[in-house]
Amino acid sequence: MQKNLGTIATPNPWENVFTSLKKGLGIGQYIRSINFHNTPAYRAEEYKRQLEFCQHYFSSVSEEDLESFLTTGQWHKDKPGLIPAFYNGYRNNFDVMKPLLERYGFVGWFFVPSEFVSTPPQLQRTFALEHTMRVLDEYEDERVALSWDEVRELDKHHVVASHTKTHSKISLELAEDLEREIVASQHDFVKELGHAVKSFAWLFGSEYGVHKEADKYLHEAGYRYLFSNFKIQKLV
């Protein structure tokens, strides 16, 4: 069993994982996802064209839709489900993509490192540099992360999820890493949103079932879904 969350880890030999994925794809048990990080304003027309295309062929996925699909194995809408996922909590996700998502009828899933949002604007670029996040020079002021007010606004009609607390690699040998990145992140969302978030995504995308110690912290924090490189899993 692999012990490092700094690499892509799977619970079985790759051949078994491939077979499982092939079977699921063959019987239609999948939801598509498009992953974004920075979404700068100069690419707004490109994003508009992408979402306009997606509107014709796909339907949005809410948390209720995902719960139904993972529980029953059946998709209940005429068009296949599509999750536009936004990672790292960038300000331009709110400014550029939120209006477009709402124009074209999609629910966005925003995976936010909670401490990045809590960092004072004058320190956000340093924080990003120290935590393997890229920032762009597109704002006149210093803020490059979402604000908590923006996260609360997203929470009204979209999905807010945890992408750890500090966007850091987690060491399984250090309980404080697991507590900080998994549990303390959830505490931040409860404090700022008034409720727990349901979904979590690590760095490097390991699945549930690979790391038993980490899995225990996922349950402790109260997450319901884990997004990894290969699967969206319902935690049981």
pLDDT in tens, 192-210: 999 999 999 988 767 888 8
Residue 12 backbone phi and psi in degrees, to 5: -135, 170
pLDDT number for residue 3: 39
pLDDT number for residue 172: 65
Quick check: is 133 in a domain?
A: yes
pLDDT band at 29 (very low <50, low <70, confident <90, very high): low
What is the C-alpha to C-alpha distance for residues 210 and 205, in angstroms, rounded to an integer? Answer: 11
Residue 234 backbone phi and psi in degrees, to 5: -85, 125
Between the CA of residue 204 and those of 7, 107, 129, 228, 233, what are the distances in Å?
6, 24, 18, 8, 16
Contact 218, 209 (CB under 8 A): no
Q: Which domain holds residue 173?
A: 14-234
Task: Say how far residue 161 (Cα) sits from the centre of its chain.
Answer: 6
Quick check: is 5 in a domain?
A: no
Which residue in 215, 175, 204, 222 sits closest to 5, CA to CA? 204
pLDDT number for residue 11: 61
Which CATH number do you get for residue 228?
3.20.20.370
What mean pLDDT do residues 49-70 have? 97
What total number of domains does the chain contain?
1
Quick check: is 2 in a domain?
A: no
pLDDT number for residue 205: 66
Quick check: is 9 in a domain?
A: no
Rounded to a whole number of angstroms, the CA Rg of the chain reads 18
Quick check: is 7 in a domain?
A: no
Quick check: is 47 in a domain?
A: yes
80: tokens are 């296949």
Q: E strands within the chain?
A: 32-36, 82-87, 109-112, 159-162, 199-201, 225-227, 232-234
Do strands 225-227 and 232-234 pair parallel, antiparallel, or not at all (unpaired)? Answer: antiparallel
Which residue in 77, 141, 74 sits closest to 105, CA to CA? 77
Q: Is the dihedral of CA 204, 127, 135, 147 positive or negative?
A: positive
pLDDT number for residue 169: 80
Strand partners, 232: 227
Which residue in 132, 125, 110, 118 sits closest to 201, CA to CA? 110
CA angle 230, 234, 236 (to 5 degrees): 130
Give the 3-state secondary structure of residue 54.
helix
Answer whether residue 1 shows pLDDT above 50.
no
Q: Is the dihedral of CA 87, 93, 97, 101 positive or negative?
A: positive
Mean pLDDT of the chain: 91
pTM: 0.91
What is the C-alpha to C-alpha distance for residues 229 and 91, in angstroms, rounded to an integer? Answer: 24
What is the C-alpha to C-alpha distance for residues 135 and 156, in angstroms, rounded to an integer? Answer: 26
